[in-house]
Chains A and B, each alone.
Chain A
Amino acid sequence: MEQVLKLRNLKVVFPTDYGLIRAVEGIDLDIYDRECVALVGESGSGKSVTSQAVMRLLGSPPSLVRVDVLEFDGRDLTRCTEKEMQEIRGKEMAMIFQDAMTSLNPVMTVGRQIDEVYIRHEGDSKQAAREKTVKALELIGIPEPGERANAFPHQLSGGMRQRVLLAMAFACMPKLIIADEPTTALDVTIQAQVLKTLRGMQKGCGTSLLLVTHDLSVVASIADRVYVMYAGKIVEKAPVEDLFIKPHHPYTVGLMAAVPTLTDEKKKFTQIPGTVPSPVNKPSGCYFHPRCEYATERCRREMPSLVPVGQGREVRCFHPLSVEGGKSSE
């Protein structure tokens, strides 16, 4: 199967007056054709920084980036000039942000903004671009696309705006779309709509999708494969079903328990103790050990490596859990 993105050993630090922020600490990421990969983590896990680094959107300053391999569709992105990158962004690689209101230009109609993509990347005339725009809006499930194209962003609801962003991202049928928390700001019923559209479009257009989110329930609904990040490192990597049925890393287990469902027991919340570590001052050894109930002396001392455990799964833990709640004998 064709590999769309190959990222090896990405490291990002941000120097500040208070010391180095170690945002991303050596991440490998593979995205294959037509696949939806989710990057899950909480605040400070480095998931957004990773996604920006993939698009080479991290400036230096403020950041310092090291990467061994960054290949997109067979091309070495580390050797691309900024001009070539601009050509790639939007055409072959597109991004969807959390806040549609700030990613859209408030004084331009949404139609014009989508037109621009076609005019810029495909060299269309204004008229041809508008025809494509209307078609794209229709495809994305916006009623009366011809009229809606003439609306300004503030005249649309949050869900509609997010759809416009989707239409814009899918405009040139890119190889890869990076969606950074695409539904976090939306209401539950609207979130379901947008997720379904996103999933449908991704499958329909044959695009690969990198979904960056903190919400495991979103991951469970649309992802194929999952990377779980914690404090700048990948702690677990697995196909989505395997991950949810048999999580290996204690952190993944904790995260899953923290997602409320309608079948849960009443008045009882399984909690992970402690707080998310500060990126300036991370604990020794395994970053998760202060919050982990299975932590041993070794976890306090040394950082476990990300090791393969079969079936395309990898886990960064000395004492991975094998069955739900149970503990393996290593």
Chain B
Amino acid sequence: MSDIITLQNVSVHFPVRGFLPFLKKGEIQAVSDVSLRIGRGEIFGIVGESGCGKTTLANTMVGFVKPTAGKVLFEGVDLSSLPRQEFKKVRRRMQMIFQDPFSSLNPRFNVYQIVSEPMLIRGEDDEESMKARVVELLEMVGLSSGDLYRYPSDFSGGQRQRIGIARAISLNPSFLVCDEPVSALDVSIHAQILNLLLELQEKLNLTYVFISHNLADVKKLCDRLAVMYLGKVMEAGNSDKIFAKPLHPYTQALMAAVLNIDFSGKREIAVLPGDTPSPIDPPPGCRFWQRCPKAMRGCKDVPPEYVEVEEDHVVACHLVNGFPKTELPDGYDQPLVRSEKTVKVRR
């Protein structure tokens, strides 16, 4: 299986400007040093909480955000090296499905105008064939030709999301980024949209990047995944392997945080203490040390390295991989005793 997207040590940093325009206050490290590969035809999940950089990473993949360092290869080609026209042509094969079905459709356009817009941009201008294609697309996503001239405000959230999907597949893309495609929808609609995505994947041979904060959805949907925290990948690889043996404490915590609805066991809410720290100027060591229940003294200062613990299962954690043999603070492998004060709140 060839890779459709390869990320090589990608970092995206945004400067934070202070009161004076020329003084840099700090840097938001939205994404730092991420290396991933996404194989053709697979569903790749990116999981993490708000501020972990998952959306920035997706925007980097499709070229909305330029990486500060590192390379994004689409089918082996570095998109940023292409001339503008060529870049546009290649990028047409990547599309996006957005989280909010309300702001992702122009309220002034009717369904036909929305779905046909990408074709119009590509330079088609034969009304008849475009209309036929739009109807075909609408039927593919579960709408009908009767909806052609209605406006987004006439539709429910789920139906709007279908329109968004029809628009995304109108140019026959090979790579689709789904940015939390169901989290803004009613619960009873989730399954419809996810099933539609699965169906389309099979029919059109698509590759998905599926961004979510819900580990359960990712587990059900994805072949491979990456767990992100504060801009870094904590654990990545084959979904089955990770869920069978989650090694990183953060992955474990996320799994525990999925609330259960079956009453076979005890009703208990597992709690990971602390708050997500600010991504501005993060600590040099492991990004998760402040909240990690198993943190050791060295975790604060020594950044963990990525180690492939088994085939297609990478973890960045000292607990699993051991500390590198470099200069280490005393008692680095002793458990960290934390006072309440070390948990800094976002200011």
Contacts and interface: CB of A to CB of B under 8 A. Distances in A.
Q: Is A–B contact present in the complex under a CB 8 A cutoff?
A: yes
Interface string A116-158: 0000000000000000000000000001100010000001111
Interface stretch (B63-71, B163-171, B263-271, B328-336): B263-271
A268 interface: yes
Given A143-B340, A216-B261, A268-B220, A258 B49 contact: no
Contact of A216 (B187, B198, B214): B187
B120 interface: no
Given A187-B276, A221-B267, A241-B263, A264 B189 contact: no
B258 interface: yes
A80 B77 CA distance: 71
Interface in B239-275: 243, 253-263, 267, 269-273, 275
A203 interface: no
Nearest to A266: B220
Given A264-B220, A265-B220, A217 B189 contact: no
Contacts of A85: none
B213 interface: yes
B156 interface: yes
Nearest to B192: A271
A218 B259 contact: yes
A160 B276 CA distance: 11
B271 A42 contact: no
Given A143-B341, A196-B269, A269 B220 contact: yes
B220 A257 contact: no
A59 interface: no
B195 interface: yes
A306 interface: no
A117 to B, nearest CB: 23
Contacts of A9: none
B347 interface: yes
A156 B192 CA distance: 37
A220 B267 contact: yes
Most-contacted residue by chain A among B243, B262, B271 (CB, 10 A):
B271
B108 interface: no
B334 to A, nearest CB: 23
B257 A188 contact: yes
B158 interface: yes
Interface in A209-247: 214-218, 220-222, 241, 244-245
Contacts of B253: 189
Contacts of B156: 275-276, 278
A192 B219 contact: no
A165 to B, nearest CB: 16
Interface string B334-347: 00000011010111
Interface string B48-63: 0110000000000000
Interface of A: 42-43, 143-144, 148, 155-160, 187-193, 195-196, 199, 214-218, 220-222, 241, 244-245, 251, 254-273, 275-276, 278, 291
18 contacts: A42-B187, A43-B157, A43-B186, A143-B341, A158-B50, A188-B214, A188-B254, A215-B187, A220-B259, A221-B267, A244-B263, A260-B214, A261-B262, A267-B198, A269-B195, A271-B192, A276-B188, A278-B156
Interface of B: 49-50, 156-159, 186-192, 194-195, 198, 213-217, 219-221, 243, 253-263, 267, 269-273, 275-276, 340-341, 343, 345-347
Given A144-B340, A221-B259, A291-B188, 12 more contacts: A189-B271, A192-B257, A199-B269, A214-B186, A217-B261, A220-B259, A221-B267, A244-B262, A255-B187, A256-B261, A269-B190, A269-B191
Of all A-B residue pairs in the complex, the 5 with the closest CB atoms, nearest first, are A217-B259, A260-B216, A271-B191, A269-B191, A187-B49
